Amino acid sequence: MSLSIEEMASFCKRKGLVYNSAEIYGGMAGFFDYGPYGVELKKNILNEWWKYMVSSRQDIVGMDGAIISPEAVWKASGHAENFSDLMLVTEDKSYEVRADVFLEEQLKRSFDGVSAEEVNKLVEEHKLVAPNKKKFKKCESFNLMFPLKVGAAGTAAYLRGETTQMIYLNFSLIQNDARMKLPFGIAQTGKAFRNEISPRNFLFRCREFEQMEMQFFIKHGDNKKWFKFWQAERKAWYLSLGIKEKNLRYRAHNKDELAHYAKQAEDIEYNFPFGWKEIEGVHDRGNWDLSTHMKHSKQKLDYYDEETKERIIPNIIETSAGVDRNFLMFLYDAYDDDKERGNIVLHLHPKLAPIKVAILPLVKKVGLKEKAEEIFNSLKMNMVCFYDDSGSIGRRYARMDEIGTPYCITIDFESLTDNSVTIRNRDSREQKRVKIADLVSALDLS
Ligand code: ATP
């Protein structure tokens, strides 16, 4: 039986991966804190993405934009007006829920892109009521942006609802300063905020979350070619980090579901225990974003095409992934309740594992501790190490399996004379004897 989302949340809490934010004050739905091993895993996901999408490519550069921006940005992008979901609220306001999520749970099929009229009709037809048996009012639209006031003057602003707008605003500066020629991309990772109506499924739907987004600027007409290219690349990235292919699929948005600016959109979905769900979107946004910001800001965000000697507004293919949903997916894909071992094993790709190697003196005896510390100090600048000398060696191996540490190094009395240690492999449980001098090359983290 697969692990429920509640069991996953409790595993994450127990293992120092993720906590409910502000739990000692009762917490707040949709906000989470990452613990000591969670922060490492999350950083590794972000680093691997950055390496693949930015550092290893000559045609993509990065940036890091502000989280708060003036109202004008979000008016131009359409978010202030249109970034909303349909909500069902009971007449006495005792229960509220996102309409498509509620219908999916009740009627066991997808309602992506459903209209307000359809929701009202379905609620009536199926006599749907809230879990507390109260009746719903007519379905209403709820804006997901977090407005705020800046400074003593109380200037209207928003927390960003997606990271990508900052990329459009800086398009011309970056294109000029980094001397980029079409086709090229600008990438960014960082926090985004949405006042979700029904935050649920743990990290899957939060109100504060992190995105990894890349906007690829192209000439009009090249859209199909680059859409296909980025679809293949993004899937390849997940597979390269060990996600099982049978658990991934692409799903095209239907016409009703397409965002107002989008020409084509496909979601990469993962087979979670609560169904196939989006972890990333690949979108053809046409030239809508740059055009709208040009119109509203009255500044130039176009590009001089040296071939045709014309100024053009580039089209955009976007890849937009959520870090927290990725985190949850990598955990699910790696999770294995190994009955034979009697403990959980996270078969995380070594590049993602929070700790790469555990250093375990067999017993707490003089000599072994010093040797183990010597090894810790020699490896610590190369990889994240963990020192543990408490409990039986079996218990210590199990603790490392449970947070996905690929290697354990055991230091025994022989190590003091032969300068060798035992390396234990997390997945095969094989043990091999290695000279301390050869340790770095013996630990394969690729
Ligand atoms: P959904 O339909 O599930 O609300 P979306 O289509 O609105 O998602 P996008 O706007 O395309 O999502 O955002 C890109 C990515 O950001 C998503 O694929 C997802 O991984 C992540 N994301 C979006 N909303 C949330 C959220 N509330 N919590 C966690 N991650 C999110």
CB of 100 sitting under 6 A from ligand 1 = no
Nearest protein CA to atom 31 of ligand 1, as residue: 322
Of 86, 270, 278, 324, the residue with max ligand 1 atoms within 8 A of its CB, to mutate for a pocket test, comes to 278
Check residue 333 and give its pLDDT. Answer: 98
Q: 382 falls in which pLDDT band (50, 70, 90)?
A: very high
- Contact of 289 with 77, CB cutoff 8 Å: yes
Check residue 127 and give its pLDDT. Answer: 95
Q: How many Å apart are CA 404 and CA 396, to the nearest integer?
A: 12
Cβ contacts of 156 within 8 Å, gap of 6 or more: 70, 71, 147, 149, 150
Give the count of beta carbons closer than 10 Å to the beta carbon of residue 232.
Answer: 11
CB of 321 sitting under 6 A from ligand 1 = yes
DSSP letter string over 31-78? -EEE-HHHHHHHHHHHHHHHIIIIIT-TTEEE----SEEEHHHHHHTS
Q: 78 falls in which pLDDT band (50, 70, 90)?
A: very high
Distance 212 CA to ligand 1 centre (A): 11
Distance 162 CA to ligand 1 centre (A): 9
Mean pLDDT for the stretch of residues 139-149: 96
CB of 320 sitting under 6 A from ligand 1 = yes
Q: 365 falls in which pLDDT band (50, 70, 90)?
A: confident
Length of the chain counted residue by residue: 446
Nearest to 405 by CA among 362, 446, 346: 346
Of 82, 143, 209, the residue with max ligand 1 atoms within 8 A of its CB, to mutate for a pocket test, comes to 209
Q: Which atom of ligand 1 is nearest to the CA of 194?
A: 27
Q: How many Å apart are CA 446 and CA 444, to the nearest integer?
A: 6
Q: 112 falls in which pLDDT band (50, 70, 90)?
A: confident
Nearest protein CA to atom 11 of ligand 1, as residue: 281
Distance 429 CA to ligand 1 centre (A): 38
pLDDT digits (tens, 9 = 90+) for 233-260: 999 999 999 999 999 999 999 877 887 7
Q: 1 falls in which pLDDT band (50, 70, 90)?
A: low
CB of 253 sitting under 6 A from ligand 1 = no
Global pTM reads 0.95
Check residue 312 and give its pLDDT. Answer: 97
CB of 234 sitting under 6 A from ligand 1 = no
CB of 194 sitting under 6 A from ligand 1 = yes
Over the chain, what is the mean pLDDT? Answer: 96
Question: How far from chain centre, in Å, is Cα 132?
Answer: 34
Q: Which atom of ligand 1 is nearest to the CA of 207?
A: 27
Give the single-character DSSP code of 135.
P
Distance 322 CA to ligand 1 centre (A): 6
In the chain, what is the greatest distance between 2 CA atoms, to the nearest angstrom? 80
Mean pLDDT for the stretch of residues 63-78: 97
CB of 211 sitting under 6 A from ligand 1 = yes
Q: Which atom of ligand 1 is nearest to the CA of 278?
A: 18
- Contact of 41 with 352, CB cutoff 8 Å: yes
CB of 196 sitting under 6 A from ligand 1 = yes
Check residue 115 and give its pLDDT. Answer: 92
- Contact of 358 with 405, CB cutoff 8 Å: yes
CB of 198 sitting under 6 A from ligand 1 = no
Check residue 260 and give its pLDDT. Answer: 74
Q: How far is CA 407 from CA 35, 150, 195, 336, 384, in A?
A: 21, 49, 41, 17, 11
Query: What percent of the chain is predicted at pLDDT more than 70?
Result: 100
Question: Residue 183 above 80 pLDDT?
Answer: yes
Q: Which atom of ligand 1 is nearest to the CA of 211?
A: 16
Q: How many Å apart are CA 78 and CA 194, to the nearest integer?
A: 15
Distance 414 CA to ligand 1 centre (A): 54
CB of 424 sitting under 6 A from ligand 1 = no
Give the count of beta carbons closer than 10 Å to the beta carbon of residue 243.
Answer: 22
Nearest protein CA to atom 21 of ligand 1, as residue: 322
CB of 322 sitting under 6 A from ligand 1 = yes
Check residue 256 and give its pLDDT. Answer: 77
Residue ranges and CATH numbers for the domains of the chain are: 5-70+161-334 (3.30.930.10), 84-143 (no CATH), 355-442 (3.40.50.800)
Question: Residue 400 above 80 pLDDT?
Answer: yes
* Cα dihedral 345→346→347→351 (10° resolution): -140
Of 325, 326, 329, the residue with max ligand 1 atoms within 8 A of its CB, to mutate for a pocket test, comes to 325
